[in-house]
Amino acid sequence: MKQILAILLFTFTVIQVQALGTIKLSPPDVNSMPLIQALQERKSTKVFDAKPIPSKQLSSLLWAAFGVNRPVSGKRTAATAFNCQDIDIYAVFAEGVYEYQAKNHCLVPVLSKDVRSLAATQAYAQKAPLNLVYVSDYAKINDRYKTMKPVYSAFHAGSISQNVYLYCASAGLGTVVRDGVNREALSKALKLSDKQVVIMGQTVGYPAAPPTKP
């Protein structure tokens, strides 16, 4: 009986994920604001509008974060130690969760469920249309650097998050990095392995005017 229930649960999960469908992203727009101006505009935002991010901007955002900018070598927009490329980006929307796959520049469905309260424990972040969750796959970092894996994964995620900051500054979007992630519950919901570690979250959306005081 337990085996039958497990099969039914697995089948239901697969059907849910398939219902979302893979999102093939358009080529990124590489003609944007000059870097110095983007640095001038870079800031953290904590008040977001709920309106969705257009697909064209979503494509450029994810490519800027950790996309492939050198197709021949497969190297990417953020550096990683020994080119281990250990960071996986999970995009959390109201309708579910996708994983960004840089090689094919697409979003692959992972979970057809609203887990925004796990990906963002702060109320302001839950209102935004998108929360990115950076997960390090320790299996991709050579075991000879075992004691350095937490350090490497932290600076890799930090580099990616700065790319997101600069893209958002150039595109009129708001963003903020956050430690407020329910790591244990989210890892369980996403069925992460024991070698996959949630590093941090980053909220993205259009800035909204702060509420006026009465």
Residue 13, pLDDT > 80, answer no
Residue 109, pLDDT > 70, answer yes
Please compute the mean of the pLDDT values over residues 82-89 and round it to a whole number: 98
- Name the percent of the chain lying above pLDDT 70: 89
* Long-range contacts formed by 3-9: CB under 8 A, 24+ apart: none
For residues 48 and 209, give the distance between their C-alpha atoms in angstroms, rounded to a whole number: 8
149-171 helix and 55-66 helix, angle to the nearest 10 degrees? 140
Q: Report the mean per-residue pLDDT for the chain.
A: 91
Q: What is the pLDDT at residue 181? A: 98
Q: Burial of 23 by CB count in 10 Å (0-12 exposed, 13-18 middle, 19+ buried)?
A: middle
With cut-offs at 50, 70 and 90, classify the pLDDT of residue 187.
very high
Reported pTM: 0.88
Cβ pair 202, 164 in contact under 8 A: yes
For residues 203 and 50, give the distance between their C-alpha atoms in angstroms, rounded to a whole number: 12
Name the CA radius of gyration of the chain, rounded. Answer: 18
Question: Beta partners for 108?
Answer: 99
Maximum C-alpha span of the chain: 63
Can you tell me whether residue 127 is helix, strand or coil?
coil
Residue 33, pLDDT > 50, answer yes
With cut-offs at 50, 70 and 90, classify the pLDDT of residue 83.
very high
Cβ pair 47, 209 in contact under 8 A: yes
Q: What is the pLDDT at residue 209? A: 76
Q: What is the pLDDT at residue 29? A: 86
Q: What is the pLDDT at residue 1? A: 53
Ordered domains of the chain (ranges, CATH): 2-205 (3.40.109.10)
For residues 155 and 10, give the distance between their C-alpha atoms in angstroms, rounded to a whole number: 36
Please compute the mean of the pLDDT values over residues 23-48 and round it to a whole number: 91
Per residue in 40-73, pLDDT tens? Answer: 999 999 999 999 999 999 999 999 999 999 999 9
